[in-house]
Structure 1
Amino acid sequence: MPKRKTVTRHGTLRTLKNVSYENQVTVWLMQDGWQVFRPVLDDGHSTDILISDGPNYFRVQVKTVDASNEQRFIENRWQESNVDVVVVFARDSNWGYVLPAFTEYRRKLNAQGHHKFTTNKREFLRAFHKV
Structure 2
Amino acid sequence: MPIKNVNRTEPALNHYKHISYETLAASWLTEDGWEVFMPLVDHDKKTDLLIADDTSFYRIQVKALNSMDEDIDVENKWQDKIIDYVIYFSMQGSWGYIVKPFTTNKAKLQSKGHIRFHQHPSNFLKAFKRI
Give the TM-score, by structure 2 length. Answer: 0.96
**Residue 55 of structure 1 aligns to a residue in which SS?**
coil
Verify: 1:129 aligned to 2:107, yes or no. no
Structure 2: gaps of 5 or more residues:
none
Q: How does 1:66-81 map to 2 (within 5 A)?
A: 66-81=66-81
Deviation at 1:129, TM superposition (A): 1.0
Q: Aligned residue for 1:5?
A: 5
Q: Which amino acid aligns with 2:129?
A: H
Give secondary structure in 1 for the equivalent of 2:126. Answer: helix
Shift in Å, 1:5: 3.0
Q: Does 1:57 align with 2:57?
A: yes
- Following superposition, which runs of at least 4 residues in structure 1 exceed 6 angstroms of deviation? none
SS of the equivalent of 1:11 reads helix
Give the AA of the match of 2:40.
V
Cα deviation, residue 23, structure 1: 0.3
Give the TM-score normalised by the residue count of structure 1.
0.96
- Contact 2:68–2:92 (CA<8 Å) still a contact in 1? no
Counterpart residue type for residue 21 of structure 1: Y
Specify the code of the residue in structure 1 equivalent to 2:6: T
2:44 matched to 1:40? no
Gaps in structure 1 of 5+ consecutive residues: none
Deviation string 1:83-126 (CA, Å, 9 cap, x unpaired) is 10000001121110011111111100000000111100011011
SS of 1:117 mapped into structure 2: strand
Structure 1 Cα separation of the partners of residues 5 and 57 of structure 2 = 42
- Measured in 2, the distance between the counterparts of 1:19 and 1:68 equals 19
Aligned length: 131
How many Å apart are 1:6 and its aligned residue? 2.6
Instruction: Give the drift of 1:75.
Output: 0.2
What's the RMSD between the two structures over aligned residues? 0.9
Deviation at 1:67, TM superposition (A): 2.4
- Cα distance in 1 for partners of 2:89, 2:106 equals 17
- Post-superposition offset of 1:74: 0.5
